[in-house]
Amino acid sequence: MEIVRSSRRSIASVIDSPPALSFYRSAPSVEVRLEEFELYGIDRLKVLKGISDGLSRGRKPDEMEKLVNELWRANMKHHDASEALNKDIISHFVLRLVYCRTEELRKWFLSMEATLFRYRFRLEGPEIQRALMTNFNLPYKPLSHAEYEGVKEELNQVARSIGASNSADSMFYKVNFEEVPELIATRKVFVHKGYAYVAMNQVVSLVVTQFRSHLSKALALTNRKWMSSIRDLEKDRLTPIIEAMSSSYLGPDYSKPKESAELSLKDIDSVAHTSFPLCMRHLFDKLREDHHLKNGGRMQLGLFLKGAGLSLDDALAFWRAEFSQKVGQERFDKEYAYHVRHSFGKEGKRTDYTPFSCQRVISSPAAVGDHHGCPYRNFSEENLRAALRSMGVAERPMEEVMEKARNRHYQVACMLTFEAVHGCSCDTGVNHPNQYFTLSQKALAARSTGGDRESTV
């Protein structure tokens, strides 16, 4: 895959009658424009992040199938089949580069890509699945007639128990039993003399095992290439895009308040306790208590308040009222007021800074004495329970929140807190502290105008 600044060859000339699904064995030999490189990568990332969200909410397989189908249609479809395949393959290789760089990134990408592949394969009918298996060059052959006759009784029994209903479903593959541990664990396969006989409607397990193993090796290889050459060779062009992409926020822009009304100083205390997510509520309370926050906390809370609608004048008054109790008014005006104006783009390079997304907050390192970051990640179990109790989360939902936080699903823990506090479901999930704020304000407004408490925001 060659990255160029403009013009590219169509992949249609390289691939004849493209199959619906690729095994991504090798990067396509096409030129890719720099902007496509980034846009395609981001579109695929939206799909993978949607899958990750669905899995951490505990969606069932049929719900996941529907979700993957919708995510794919929304982000990856193209009216031209070769262009759609083009985008599929290019975006996969873009994200391989993005996610090869650390063990944690590789693990996440491998798991999301395998899930995406599983559901895309499941969506195809048996005819296409068989064609894909041939196309992928997998080392499996359907059971010969003679072998089938030898174990026919047992196989028919298995076919009935797993709901195989037609002739295609009752076709079997004979594989080493170690290749299908999940089918053996769920008793969906006949095992005889070290071989498992896998029915056509269970064959997805086999294909995904091969896919995972192939992708895992490929990611290790890409990582070696990245470390030894690509990172330095591309340091002015691709490397910044690649490094930014794994932590990029893909939701709406909260740099300017849009839907919410202006946040005024007189309401700020009550709104903080009804509508701020835990990360901002914690900073707010600490500021009121200590009359001081370190730089990380000031940035995180200050930009959030700006995105929530606090004007520059009110922001200055707010920070001055607190800090002057600790450092005096004169020192505040000299040392801190500049930073407030700076975050509104009124000083220095005049950059209008954007409020931090959850991903940015969650990944910011916090030392002892810092209060910024995501409490679902940083708090001890005891402190998190106390904080949730003070938000009004009852014991039962609290256990679910704690379980998600323990398993490092911090945004899902935050979403469950939102639902427990507001008494309505939050189908969009929580991706940004300002999104939490906006949804909370909407839910509270709906409640005060007699809206349904069990509604969805």
Of 118 and 442, CB closest to ligand SF4: 442
Of 162 and 366, CB closest to ligand SF4: 366
- Diameter over CA atoms, the chain: 93
Interacting residues with ligand SF4 (CB under 6 A)? 277-279, 358, 361-362, 374-376, 410-411, 414, 430, 433, 436
Nearest to 99 by CA among 107, 91, 87: 107
Count Cβ atoms below 10 Å from residue 268 Cβ, excluding itself.
17
Least distance from ligand SF4 to the Cβ atom of residue 102, Å: 21
Least distance from ligand SF4 to the Cβ atom of residue 404, Å: 10
Least distance from ligand SF4 to the Cβ atom of residue 421, Å: 12
Least distance from ligand SF4 to the Cβ atom of residue 411, Å: 5
CA gap 272, 437 in Å, rounded: 9
Distance set, CA 206 to CA 18, 109, 136, 195 (Å):
23, 20, 12, 13
CA gap 349, 370 in Å, rounded: 27
Nearest to 336 by CA among 364, 351, 316: 316
Of 302 and 375, CB closest to ligand SF4: 375
Q: Tokens 């424009």 sit at which residue? A: 33
Least distance from ligand SF4 to the Cβ atom of residue 108, Å: 17
User: CB within 8 A of 320, min separation 6: which ones?
Assistant: 329, 332, 333, 337
Q: How many CA atoms lie within 13 A of 402 on its CB side?
A: 17
Least distance from ligand SF4 to the Cβ atom of residue 292, Å: 21
Of 237 and 258, CB closest to ligand SF4: 258
Of 183 and 457, CB closest to ligand SF4: 457
- 187-205 burial, b at 16+ Cβ within 10 Å, e below that, comes to ebbbeeeebbbbbbbbbbb
Nearest to 202 by CA among 215, 193, 190: 190
Least distance from ligand SF4 to the Cβ atom of residue 384, Å: 11
Q: Is 356 left (phi over 0), alpha (psi -120 to 50) or beta?
A: beta
Least distance from ligand SF4 to the Cβ atom of residue 289, Å: 19
Least distance from ligand SF4 to the Cβ atom of residue 277, Å: 4
Q: DSSP letter at 250? A: -
Q: Is 282 left (phi over 0), alpha (psi -120 to 50) or beta?
A: alpha
Of 100 and 374, CB closest to ligand SF4: 374
Of 100 and 301, CB closest to ligand SF4: 301
CA gap 308, 117 in Å, rounded: 39
Count Cβ atoms below 10 Å from residue 77 Cβ, excluding itself.
11
Cβ atoms of residues 416 and 401 within 8 Å: yes
Reading the block at residue 344, the tokens are 């509104």
Of 200 and 420, CB closest to ligand SF4: 420
Of 109 and 410, CB closest to ligand SF4: 410
Distance set, CA 126 to CA 169, 201, 223, 256 (Å):
7, 8, 36, 50
Q: DSSP letter at 456? A: B
Of 28 and 302, CB closest to ligand SF4: 302
Least distance from ligand SF4 to the Cβ atom of residue 300, Å: 9
